[in-house]
Amino acid sequence: MKRLKQWLNTLQLSLFSDDDVVVTPPALSPSPQPHLSNDIDSIGGFKQPADSRPITLHTRTDSHTVFYRIERTRRRTVGMLIDENGLRVRAGARVPIAEIERILHSRADWIIKHLRGMKDKPRLTLVPSLMIENGDVLNILGVATQIFWQERVPKFNSTDAKNWLYQAGTTRQIILRKVTPERQEQTMVDALTLILLAYLHQRAEQYAMQWQLNYRSIGLSNAKTLWGTCKSDGSLRLNWRLVFLDASLVDYVLAHELAHTVEMNHSRAFWAVVEKLCPDYKKRRELIKAYDLRNS
């Protein structure tokens, strides 16, 4: 199986809508957190990049100086992201600074609340070490799986991946052909992506049959900011790192992208489709936000 590459799709919708604001927890740090002050960027020990801009935000009770960075994208609206690096704003090239700061002022209470909350939320590790020893256990789609390396066994293939889906018991097994240490990590990735693809195809067919959905294809991406995308022709791309999450969260991402085959937007009609496919999508959506793709 070829090494994973990043796919750049021109007509795609991210898992988070253009109007969403996204908060991702910070990495764990052994150093003590600074005391709260009116300089919000001191909360959580945020670094101040050279290209950051200051803005004074007024909440219901006080004022705070916050530094933010602008990322120019093709999007038509303004989005905000708060992570361990502070506040970032994503906006189209033609959106003026004055309009960006007007939006920041309108969201002042939300921004201050979540910047303060960053120091209390440890980042959940997404991708574990794939240097697996013989007999080690790896969680795959939420299932404990024991990995074995053996001589003279066939290369792990799509049939093996499908068989893994139907193995009984709380702990499953994968037998891989023994390789050199230099090739071990890629061999694991190859096996994991086959399992994820097998699962996605199985679930997508179930969704399609139950709800009369039409999609063109399902592939994997190596994106560092998107869990999934859907092109206007019905082609789906889902992040290969989903294999390390519980199957219920994978189902939510898949349902989200399949809903785009009905509504290529993030309107109320779109979310109604998502809810039909995944009734507790709001809970799963919050759970998946605890994972940070950019640090995986």
Residue 81's pLDDT is 81
Tell me the domain boundaries of the chain.
25-120, 137-295
Burial 148-171 (b: 16+ CB within 10 A, else e): ebeeeeeebeeebbbebeeeeeee
Report the alpha-carbon distance of residue 90 to residue 275 in Å, rounded.
Answer: 27
pLDDT tens figures, 169-224:
888 999 999 999 899 999 999 999 999 999 999 999 999 999 999 999 999 999 88
Residue 97's pLDDT is 93
Tally of helices (H runs) and strands (E runs) in the chain: 7, 11
- Count of beta carbons in the 10 Å neighbourhood of residue 296: 14
Report the alpha-carbon distance of residue 100 to residue 42 in Å, rounded.
Answer: 23
CATH (residue range 137-295): 3.30.2010.10
Residue 2's pLDDT is 40
- Count of beta carbons in the 10 Å neighbourhood of residue 190: 18
| pLDDT block averages, 10 residues each, the chain of length 296 | 36 37 37 35 52 87 88 82 80 90 92 77 75 92 95 95 92 94 94 98 97 96 91 95 96 97 94 96 91 74
Beta bridge partner(s), residue 68: 53, 87
Residue 121's pLDDT is 59
